[in-house]
Structure 1
Amino acid sequence: MSTAPHLFSTPLATLRPAIDLKNVTKRFTTPDGSTYTAIRDMTLQVAPGEFCAIVGPTGCGKSTSLTLISGLERPSAGSVSVHGEPVKGITPGVGFMFQTDAVLPWKSVLDNVAMGPKFRGIDKANAIASAKDWIRRVGLAGFEDRFPHQLSGGMRKRVALAQSLINEPEILLMDEPFSALDVQTRAIMSNELLGLWDVTKPAVVFVTHDLEEAIALADKVVVMTAGPGGTVKETFAIDLPRPRVVQEIRFDKRFVDLYQQIWESLRSEVDTAYSQSTQTTGKAS
């Protein structure tokens, strides 16, 4: 299938990729001893400072692509490179924000955010100073001594953002980080993310099921085919102006046009995944 009308073509595309997946396949052994192919022949490039969102139906391999980039998993075939170097273990300079909060419940907000610099060998005084600065940046000044159970869901996500960005990663991987939040808080967090991303400009790979969220945030949106053996189907350039306000950009005519184009590509994959799930359910019953 030709994707030429939608390919990313801004100056970012001329830079050496920050992330480069070439013909990557990842297989897992299931509990019954069979083999499951999560992704097959996947090729994806993300330029330095580029915000890439990945959408696709459940089970298409979106999260698997993040674990391969981070070095938490190794490909069964193909190659994964970060800044031109093959990924052979845990990738340095990468931040990973998961669906669930990665905060330690027995530590305060300040101690949670300061952990990263301390683990990197920064002395305590500078780690604390940096943590206080990032807590302020994410809008939690005054909450430094609170514990996670004393925070709302949105506030915990702010802590997670500060944890991820305090180390100024060159690459930020995000696996549906706002999916558990209510609609209003999700939009606020999306705006916070864009503002903070603009400060240090890491390359971002943002996995989501929400197409509107993907378009509002990203420089490009990658549509994956239904699994098993998901792969890149089409890539769409998001030529909306920055800076963006997530709650407002959705009313832009170009946003609506992009949504219609991308949904046309995504809809058939969602239908395929749903059909597979109902067939499986039928066989199991």
Structure 2
Amino acid sequence: MTPAHTTDDAPNARIEISGVTKRFLTPAGDVFTAIKDVSFTVEPGQFCAVVGPTGCGKSTTLSLVSGLDRPSEGTVAVGGRPVDGIAEGVSFMFQADALLPWKTVLGNVALGPTFRGTAKREAESTARDWLRRVGLAGFEDRHPHQLSGGMRKRVAMAAALINEPRILLMDEPFGALDVQTKAIMQTELLGLWEQLRPSVLFITHDLEEAVALADRVVVMTSGPGSVKAVYDIDLPRPRGAVQDIRFQPEFLALHRQIWESLREEVERAYAKTAGVSS
């Protein structure tokens, strides 16, 4: 299969975050700053992972790119245009399974094309093809509650990718899975991403996951979150099985280097929440 996005489409898949600050009002009426002066770019077709301690604003950043929220200061642009709502060509995959429990597996995956006006028969045919790609042929008539956690993630992945998005936003999509299933899903994601090459913004707490999957890793500081460092991951592609990538000397060296930067922020965030003076 050829990539879904040509070089003519590439500029439309660039994500630019420039000087972004996001503030919220707390229930007590105080102002809480989630992220402050965040700037980084995801190039067209690039897989960018964002790591940082709990509460550093990773998911807030994703919500601003998605158009579900707006920055207090700064700009977020997709394809050179400021984000002012949910943009066309953007798909989401979150930690919680966003599947409709009353619909079958086939019905859930076919939702995207159906909403875009595709005839039911064609939408279901495309959905069957995507279920085959994620290893769920034969499960079309099941409902989400009849599937394992890993199988539900496969359905969610098919539902996100069936629209061949130019941008894929992923908020800890595999965080709730066991270690073995997580590694399998990561490898499957890499294979599918290689086919379509959308720009990916991937939020994770797992540094190993970030290094194994991404072209670029952004490290955020403890809250209010800002960009501490950006690392280019020069591991060759295609990378094959994630289980094998993690034993490569180049992977271990990158992991060690990034962890030195990330560890300081994790320790600082823990000290804040534990009430420990620095």
Tell me, yes or no, whether TM beats 0.5: yes
**Is 1:200 matched up with 2:190?**
no
Aligned to 2:4: none
Query: Which residue identity is paired with 2:233?
Result: I
Q: Distance in 1 between matches of 2:60 and 2:90?
A: 16
Would you say 1:236 and 2:231 are equivalent positions? Answer: yes
The answer for unaligned runs of 5 or more in structure 1 is: 1-11
Q: Give the counterpart of 1:214 among 207, 210, 213.
A: 210
CA drift at 1:125: 1.1
Q: Which residue matches 2:26?
A: 30
The AA in structure 1 aligned to 2:255 is Y
| TM-score when normalising by structure 2 | 0.94
SS at match of 2:181: helix
Please name the residue that 1:161 is paired with.
157
Query: Would you say 1:21 and 2:17 are equivalent positions?
Result: yes
Aligned to 2:142: 146
Residues 69 and 91, structure 1, Cα contact 8 Å, conserved in 2: no
* 1:256 match: secondary structure: helix
Q: Distance in 2 between matches of 1:165 and 1:273?
A: 35
Equivalent-residue separation in structure 2 for 1:247 and 1:38 (angstroms): 34
- Aligned equivalents of 2:85 and 2:203: distance in 1? 22
In structure 1, distance between residues paired with 2:162 and 2:27: 39
Deviation at 1:116, TM superposition (A): 0.7
| Structure 1 segment 266-281 matched on structure 2, within 5 A | 266-279=262-275
Dislocated runs of 4+, deviation >6 Å: none
Aligned length: 267
Q: 1 CA distance for matches of 2:210 and 2:67?
A: 24
Name the counterpart of 1:5: none
For residues 227 and 122 of structure 2, what CA distance do their matches in structure 1 show?
Answer: 43
Query: How far apart, CA to CA, are the structure 1 residues paired with 2:67 and 2:153?
Result: 24
Kindly report the root-mean-square deviation, in angstroms, between the aligned alpha carbons of the 2 structures.
Answer: 1.4
CA distance in 1, matches of 2:195, 2:250: 26
Deviation at 1:243, TM superposition (A): 1.4
Residue 71 of structure 1: aligned partner = 67
User: Structure 1 residue 138: deviation in Å?
Assistant: 0.6
Structure 2 spans left out of the alignment, 5+ residues? 1-6
Q: Percent identity?
A: 65
Tell me the distance in 2 between the aligned counterparts of 1:168 and 1:150: 27
1:64-213 paired onto structure 2 within 5 Å: 64-213=60-209
Cα displacement (A) at 1:92 = 1.6
Pairwise CA distance, 1:259: 0.7
Structure 2 SS opposite 1:41: strand
Aligned 1:252-263 pairs, distance under 5 A: 252-263=248-259
TM-score for both structures, normalised by structure 1: 0.92
The CA distance in 2 between the partners of 1:110 and 1:175, in whole Å, is: 23
1:223 has 2:197 as partner? no
Post-superposition Cα deviations, 1:134-180, rounded to whole Å, max 9, x if no partner, equal 11111100000001111000000000000100011100000000010
Q: Which residue of 2 aligns with 1:54?
A: 50
Q: Which residue of 2 aligns with 1:246?
A: 242
Please say if residues 18 and 46 of structure 1, whose CA atoms lie closer than 8 Å, have aligned partners that are also in contact: yes
